[in-house]
Structure 1
Amino acid sequence: MSTYTHEFRRSVEQPETFWAEQARRIPWFKQPQAILEYDEAQHARWYGDGELNIAYAALDYHVEQGRGDQPAVLWDSPVTDSKRTLTYLEMRDQVASFAGALKEMGVEKGDRVVIYMPMVPEALVAMFACARLGAVHSVVFGGFAPHELSVRIEDAAPKVVIAASCGVEVNKVLPYKPIIDAAIEQSAHKPDACVIFQREQHVAELGARDHDWATVVEKASPADCVPVKGTDPLYVLYTSGTTGKPKGVVRDTGGYAVALAYSMDAIYDVAPGEVFFSASDVGWVVGHSYIVYAPLLRGATTIVYEGKPVKTPDAGAFWRIIEEYRVKSFFTAPTAFRAIKKEDPDGKRLAEYDISSLKALFLAGERLDPPTFHWLDDLLDVPVIDHWWQTETGWPIAANLHGLEPMPTKAGSATVPVPGFDVQILDREGEPMNAMEQGAVVIKQPMPPGCLTGVWGDPERFHSAYMAAFPGYYLTGDGGYVDEDGYLFIMGRTDDVINVAGHRLSTGEMEEVVGAHPAVAECTVIGIHDALKGQLPVGLVIPKDGFDGREVELEEELIALVRDKIGPVACFKQVLVVDRLPKTRSGKILRKLLRNIADGQEYAVPSTIDDPASLEEIHDTMQAREVGASGNARLTDGP
């Protein structure tokens, strides 16, 4: 029996024994005895009687073990031409001081703190400072507009908001303070205070509620680590939902720490003292897990990179980072390499750098298309590893476990389920599917440590969104299949959440914005294939009677509206005005059918559509506007 097979079987057949062993990777204040329990809704809860503090485990502990002078954080900011190194000792001291400042503002265990920061070391300091106090942080991606920020402030009800004075996008400075002020104005909840980290690229004018970061830190006394239970929440991270209202994914502390520590060893093969580079943002789950927490729990060095090769683009940016900092393991989204491939199709820039330190490249966040996989596989002398996970799980569901037992790669596959994730493929009736048969990808309970433990303030939504469809299983929302070798293939979402450059976005939320325009009678937003970003949203709108035909102006207004309400992260840049939309007799718009037409698939017209001719109109409109991947969609006779 292989190492992987043995470990996987133990993890699903004896989960308590397996995860009790993995818990030893973490320095607990009180070792857990109750490894696995279930709440009243029969959802798994891990390490409920254990006590720890993740800031202590990631910082103080390593200082005590003699790693105080080792680099913990390497900040590289090509957009500001800046670099910094923070050792474990420096990080611990800065976190303790900032935690003391928050404590003097009244932040206590269980309080929420919203963080709106760019990719600067202070973002990590803020997150660890919250964790040091037992407060619950909620990081919001800096690309979100005031409305999106206000929704999260209102839902999380933070005592304090922490922000930088600005972000920097390539060569453009984006002031954050006006966004924060507008968001608080729109929110029914008003935080007690805002702490602003002033950047030299733009100094914000502070108001009555605001505090200067440097000033409050200078006056503060360092705060000690507050012990929390293994099941106490560490953070709330909002992710798109099909209703349009973001879901606040709740992550516990103990299970998350154990899962991340295990994954750094078993999946990424990173040891203490080695350098791990994840080219993501702290506003997303990848940033939380594999920029902030996992590398430092492991005693490794993490890179905080403030730059976007996708937008610059600098085809040699990643190779420079790998050479300069001797990166062992690198993790990013396929979108980044599709942009690099476009700029440097022959990989000539790679020859300029020595990347011999690199042992593996990991890709996730969206589908790794086979052409990009093969391009990278031909270009590099290291394994190119696709792996699959979600905001909700917090760490990989399926991967090629490079640190446990490397396996041959297959284009289009995330390889095999990670120990702890009992992944199964079910049909609509909940029956298991055979190899090579597509169905719903689900995970049998108990979910392993580190996965979401609820939706903030809405336990019923947690159950209805994830657990109700197939009792005893977590619904991933993805469809896929397993081949004869046990390799898992993820084929795409089964709901109305789309993936734009690795960022999950709700088409329902965009529909709410578009539908609010006074000229729009009816609308839908669908995701279509895009060669660079994976998917892009396209709006289809039916104007109200009396519309004067100013389609270009309407398109511009709707694009601006979505940008204002959601932010540029939505990449909403195309609107089609149509006469009708295909519907069922009950009035439901057939979004899946529209998506398939847009992506150039042959599709039969279902008998349940009231007006099949409307499909022809939409198809012709899409053809005329060159929407879709192939532009050769055609309709066939249906039943």
Structure 2
Amino acid sequence: MNNLMKKKNNQESSSPSSDSCLSKYKKVYDLSLENPEAFWAERAETLVSWARKWDEVLQGDFNRREVSWFSGGRLNVSSNCLDRHLEKGCRNQAALIWQGENDDEVKVYTYQMLLTETCRFANVLKDKGIKKGDCVSIYLPMIPELVIAMLACARIGAVHSVIFCGFSSTALKNRIKDCGSKVFVTADTVARGGRIIPLKPNADGPLDECQSIRNCIVVRRSEKEISMVPGRDSWWHEEMAREGIGRYCEPVEMDAGDTLFMLYTSGSTGKPKGVLHSCGGYLTYVLHTCRTVFHFSENDIHWCTADIGWITGHSYSVYGPLGAGATILIYEGLPLYPEPDRYWRIVEKFGVTVLYTAPAAIRALMHFGAGLAGRYDLSSLRFLGSVGEPINPGEWNWYFKEIGHSKLPVIDTWWQTETGGIMLAPLVHPELCGPGGCSRPLPGIDAAVFTESGRETVPGESGRLVIRKPWPGMLKAVLGDGGRVQKMYFSSYPGVYDTGDSARRSGENVFQITGRLDDVIIISGHRLGTAEIESVLTAHRSVAEAAVVGIADSLKGQKIYAFVTVGKNVEQTPGLLGELRQYVQETIGPIATHSTIQYVSALPKTRSGKIMRRLLRKIASNDFHHFGDISTLADPSVITDLIEGKKRSSP
């Protein structure tokens, strides 16, 4: 391969003992909480290039719910991700590697090339009248232009709103109207599983109804004919080649508290909320997490498999790795197309050093066994990461043994769209990493587990995961707040951020995430995380996948309702259901008695692979109407199958 992609493999370097790593972690962690402002000042000064240093590290606190970081500081995030690496001599280092769905579709951008493309598109946006504070909606597949558009917005101070290209027309319209975008960036088509799917036509209806949109810029991805509205629509390649569009754009100095981007995330009701993140705090935090968790260097080729339309893609496909000077790899296609060995083929082809993926992808790959991965040279890998949902022990062990050859650390990370970056991870030593999500808060993160009454739990006791002190990566606000931040994050406990997740502390500063609070089942006053029950079910030899919800029970308050898919050649018999119920009860205890289990052919998943549990809760409760926003559902026909199965299984 191109020598731009050849990286030095540091796997064989000796590592310190687990005891020394743990001691070092404790020392740094304790100092970070004793004097958080000094800690974050050092992080910001070390990791970020500032045009003007801040006057005050932190203003406000959780009691007032008004928090701002690095007030008075000025910077440009695009310049931090590009220009400063050129100044360090990395002009010809690969910044971005793109692998298209077809194997022969590969593009490599050096840092110099990526800077030039970013500047040209920034000048295109300026020519369209976009200025600091304006919003640009980006509706693109996983192609280089998506990264370029984001960095171009950051360069001129525009706020970008990346919208996952799997969203429906209705969801797209609502998101454009909500933020009042002036420019819309999309592509004519998207490649998916060997098909060329129209993308721009999906946006035409919403654009006609969104009066704020002045211009629509379209990336040509195929030769398919699409309609273009004169005066509004134009081609990306023609705009970039237009006379007068310069190769350089001066980065706009932004206040640390200015908004960098807006990203929509759905709550348990399915109603999306636009989360805003600031320039200075967000960049400081994602770089802190990249150094602390991944230990990025310019030698790394980092592949975060998440779509950039989600926060994981923002933080660990774009801003974090590029800010740290690493090489990012983005892949347009599906993990199993054209063959289920696609991931391992890509790792070998480009010498990927860090693979950061989701349990949903791991489950899909596990289905085809370890033999596929064994055909490829995966020795470039030094780090395996997991993100998106709790990874169960079966998935963790397969990932560790079959992909990491029982040598590489598997880091199960916990965080949220609202937190900006990773909050919990098993940081200290590979030997201390293990199945079950044993995670420690990163330095600077004051995590705890509270009971409903506000008492801090004792080890082994479940409760609500909370954060007691501000951190720079936290959300700046929610668009059109109307008290939503207070209601969603600070109403449970005065002066404490409520994550909405359940957890338990198993030892000194060691946490295990057990699921969303709306994914916790309370049986006779006892709390069971649905993730725990799902791990038990998927550990059974006959079960391929499981999702668990709680439904009302007149005697116990709630009871367990599980949806399971079985493996190939496994017969869906009543006897197996009884065996699974007994297996859950024996593994978890008598509290799990009287669980209901329903066979399903598939679970309702979003296009990013997450299970849409609120649909399962409604169906399990015989509520078959008003499912809310299902625009992210990959296969809506699954709902009909689930309802029919529920009716058949009901007494």
**TM beyond 0.5:** yes
Q: Which residue of the other structure, out of 388, 391, 394, is the alignment partner of 2:414?
A: 388
Shift of 1:390: 0.8
Aligned positions, number: 541
Residues 181 and 80 of structure 1: CA distance in aligned 2, closer, same or farther (over 3 Å):
farther
**What is the distance in 2 between the residues matched to 1:541 and 1:376?**
32
1:270 paired to 2:314: no
Match of 1:12 in 2: 33
Q: Which residue of the other structure, out of 330, 333, 347, is the alignment partner of 1:307?
A: 333
TM-score by length of 1: 0.79
Shift of 1:63: 1.3
Match of 2:549 in 1: none
Report the 3-state secondary structure (helix = DSSP H, G, I; strand = E; otherwise coil) of the residue aligned with 2:294: coil
**Which 10-residue stretch deviates more, 139-148 or 448-457?**
448-457
On the 8 A contact 2:193/2:338 being kept in 1, the answer is no
**Which 10-residue stretch deviates more, 38-47 or 189-198?**
38-47
1:535 paired to 2:611: yes
Shift of 1:77: 1.4
**What is the distance in 1 between the residues matched to 2:97 and 2:414?**
27
- What code does the residue aligned with 1:148 have? A
Match of 1:600 in 2: none
Gaps of 5+ in 2: 1-21, 521-529, 535-560, 567-602, 604-608
Match of 2:363 in 1: 338
Partner deviation per Cα, 1:530-550 (whole Å, 9 max, x = no partner): 688663534539999xxxxxx
Q: Which residue of the other structure, out of 492, 502, 505, is the alignment partner of 1:482?
A: 505
For residues 118-517 of structure 1, what are the structure 2 equivalents within 5 Å?
Answer: 118-187=141-210, 189-208=211-230, 209-219=232-242, 220-221=245-246, 222-309=248-335, 311-312=336-337, 314-343=339-368, 345=369, 347-379=370-402, 380=404, 381-401=407-427, 405-406=429-430, 408-446=432-470, 448-458=471-481, 460-495=483-518
Q: Which residue of the other structure, out of 529, 544, 569, is the alignment partner of 2:634?
A: 569
Report the 3-state secondary structure (helix = DSSP H, G, I; strand = E; otherwise coil) of the residue aligned with 1:260: helix
- What code does the residue aligned with 2:212 have? K
**What is the distance in 1 between the residues matched to 2:467 and 2:517?**
15
Shift of 1:313: 6.4
Report the 3-state secondary structure (helix = DSSP H, G, I; strand = E; otherwise coil) of the residue aligned with 1:22: helix
**What is the distance in 1 between the residues matched to 2:503 and 2:222?**
48
**What is the distance in 1 between the residues matched to 2:348 and 2:641?**
46
Report the 3-state secondary structure (helix = DSSP H, G, I; strand = E; otherwise coil) of the residue aligned with 1:308: coil
**What is the distance in 1 between the residues matched to 2:286 and 2:251?**
20
Match of 1:27 in 2: 49
- What code does the residue aligned with 2:354 have? S
For residues 26-65 of structure 1, what are the structure 2 equivalents within 5 Å?
Answer: 26-38=48-60, 41-65=64-88
Among the aligned pairs, what percent are the same residue? 33
- What code does the residue aligned with 2:218 have? I
**What is the distance in 2 between the residues matched to 1:288 and 1:233?**
14
**Which 10-residue stretch deviates more, 130-139 or 214-223?**
214-223
Report the 3-state secondary structure (helix = DSSP H, G, I; strand = E; otherwise coil) of the residue aligned with 2:493: coil
**What is the distance in 2 between the residues matched to 1:234 and 1:176?**
26
Partner deviation per Cα, 1:196-239 (whole Å, 9 max, x = no partner): 11112535321131121112222223421000011111000000
Partner deviation per Cα, 1:213-272 (whole Å, 9 max, x = no partner): 112222223421000011111000000023432111111111111112121211012212
**What is the distance in 1 between the residues matched to 2:504 and 2:478?**
28
**What is the distance in 2 between the residues matched to 1:98 and 1:59?**
14
Shift of 1:529: 6.2
Gaps of 5+ in 1: 501-525, 545-554, 579-617, 627-633, 635-639
Report the 3-state secondary structure (helix = DSSP H, G, I; strand = E; otherwise coil) of the residue aligned with 2:297: coil
Shift of 1:48: 1.6
- What code does the residue aligned with 2:89 have? G
Match of 1:100 in 2: 123
Shift of 1:574: 2.3
**What is the distance in 2 between the residues matched to 1:437 and 1:173?**
51
**What is the distance in 2 between the residues matched to 1:440 and 1:117?**
37
Match of 1:87 in 2: 110
Shift of 1:300: 0.7
Report the 3-state secondary structure (helix = DSSP H, G, I; strand = E; otherwise coil) of the residue aligned with 1:495: helix
On the 8 A contact 2:504/2:512 being kept in 1, the answer is yes
Residues 530 and 137 of structure 1: CA distance in aligned 2, closer, same or farther (over 3 Å):
farther
Residues 422 and 530 of structure 1: CA distance in aligned 2, closer, same or farther (over 3 Å):
farther
Report the 3-state secondary structure (helix = DSSP H, G, I; strand = E; otherwise coil) of the residue aligned with 1:226: coil
- What code does the residue aligned with 2:192 have? E
Residues 263 and 527 of structure 1: CA distance in aligned 2, closer, same or farther (over 3 Å):
farther
On the 8 A contact 2:64/2:495 being kept in 1, the answer is no
On the 8 A contact 1:196/1:210 being kept in 2, the answer is yes
Shift of 1:476: 0.9
Partner deviation per Cα, 1:281-335 (whole Å, 9 max, x = no partner): 11011110111111110111000111211x5363322222222222221100011
Q: What's the RMSD between the two structures over aligned residues?
A: 2.9
Report the 3-state secondary structure (helix = DSSP H, G, I; strand = E; otherwise coil) of the residue aligned with 2:414: coil
On the 8 A contact 1:78/1:307 being kept in 2, the answer is yes
On the 8 A contact 1:44/1:445 being kept in 2, the answer is no
TM-score by length of 2: 0.78
Partner deviation per Cα, 1:599-637 (whole Å, 9 max, x = no partner): xxxxxxxxxxxxxxxxxxx9xx738359xxxxxxx9xxx
Match of 1:587 in 2: none
- What code does the residue aligned with 1:136 have? V
Shift of 1:481: 0.4
Report the 3-state secondary structure (helix = DSSP H, G, I; strand = E; otherwise coil) of the residue aligned with 2:306: coil
- What code does the residue aligned with 1:279 have? T
**What is the distance in 2 between the residues matched to 1:172 and 1:429?**
53
**What is the distance in 2 between the residues matched to 1:262 and 1:8?**
13
**What is the distance in 2 between the residues matched to 1:201 and 1:72?**
28
- What code does the residue aligned with 1:387 have? T
Residues 65 and 115 of structure 1: CA distance in aligned 2, closer, same or farther (over 3 Å):
same
Residues 625 and 90 of structure 1: CA distance in aligned 2, closer, same or farther (over 3 Å):
farther
- What code does the residue aligned with 2:37 have? E
- What code does the residue aligned with 2:236 have? W
- What code does the residue aligned with 1:269 have? H
